Amino acid sequence: MMKMKLRAASGLLVLGLLALAPTFARAQAKTAPGTPLQPSQELDKILSGIETQFVPLAEAMPEDKFDFAPTAAGGDFKGVRTFSGQIKHVTEANDYFLSDPPMTPAEFKAKRDAIEKLTSKADILQAFKDSFKVAHAFMAGTTAENAWKSLPNGRSRAGMAAYAMQHMMDHYGQLVVDLRLNGIIPPASRPK
Q: What is the pLDDT of residues 174-185, one digit of tens each?
A: 999 999 999 999
Distance CA 55, CA 11 (A): 47
> 42 or 71, which is more confident?
42
pLDDT value of position 152: 86
Instruction: Give me Rg for the CA atoms of the chain.
Output: 24
The answer to whether 158 touches 147, Cβ cutoff 8 Å, is yes
The answer to whether 160 touches 151, Cβ cutoff 8 Å, is yes
Distance CA 159, CA 70 (A): 32
pLDDT in tens, 61-87: 999 999 999 886 667 778 889 999 999
The beta-strand segments (E) located in 56-184 are none
DSSP letter, residue 32? P
Residue 165 pLDDT greater than 70, yes or no: yes
pTM of the model: 0.81
- Cis peptide before 101, with omega less than 30 degrees from 0? yes
pLDDT value of position 29: 59
